Structure 1
Amino acid sequence: MNLKRTFGTILTVLGIVGLIYAAYIFASGSTTGQNVKTTIVYAVLGLIFFASGIGLVKRTKDES
C-alpha cells in the first residue's frame, strides 16, 4: 500500500473527527466567547485536514 495514500486517509479521518467535534460543540448550546473560538478552531482545522487528505488521496497514483 502506498504511504502517501495511507497518510491521506489518516488526514481525511482526522478532518472528519475535527468537523464532527466542532459540530458537537456548536450544538451543545453555550455561546460564550471561548466556546465560539474553540468551535471555529476545530472547524477550520477539520476543514484543512479533510481537504488536504482528500487531495492527497486523489493525486496519488496507485502503482502496483
Structure 2
Amino acid sequence: MNMKRIFGAVLTILGIIGIIWGAYAFLMGGDGAMVGKFTSAVPFVVGLIFFFAGINLVKTTKDTV
C-alpha cells in the first residue's frame, strides 16, 4: 500500500473525528466540549477540509507494486 493512501486514510479519519466533534459541540452549546457554540465551527470546518483532502488523496493516488 502506498504511503500517500495511508496518509489519506489518516486524514479522512481525523476529518470524521473533527466533523463529529464540531457537530457535538454545536448541539451541546459548548458545554463539555471545551469550545463555545460559535467557535464550534472551527473544528467542523477543519474536519471538513481534512475529510475531503483525505478522500481526494485516496481517490487520486494510483497503486504501485
TM over 0.5: yes
Structure 1 runs (4+) greater than 4 angstroms displaced: none
Number of aligned residues: 61
Query: Alignment partner of 1:6: what SS?
Result: helix
Which region of structure 1 is more displaced relative to structure 2, 37-46 or 50-59? Answer: 37-46
Q: Paired residue for 2:41?
A: 40
State the shift of 1:37 in Å. 3.5
State the shift of 1:46 in Å. 0.3
Mapped partners of 2:49, 2:22: distance in 1: 13
Of Structure 1 and Structure 2, which has the larger fraction of its residues in helix?
Answer: 1
Percent of aligned positions that are identical: 54
CA deviation map 1:11-54 (0-9, x unaligned): 00000000000011011135xxx613421111110010001000
| Structure 1 runs not aligned, ≥5 long | none
RMSD: 1.4
Task: Return the letter of the residue paired with 1:6.
Answer: I
Query: Alignment partner of 1:63: what SS?
Result: coil
Higher relative contact order (CA 8 A, sep 6+): 1
| Structure 2 runs not aligned, ≥5 long | none
Query: Alignment partner of 1:38: what SS?
Result: coil
State TM-score, norm by structure 1: 0.85
Query: Alignment partner of 2:40: what SS?
Result: helix
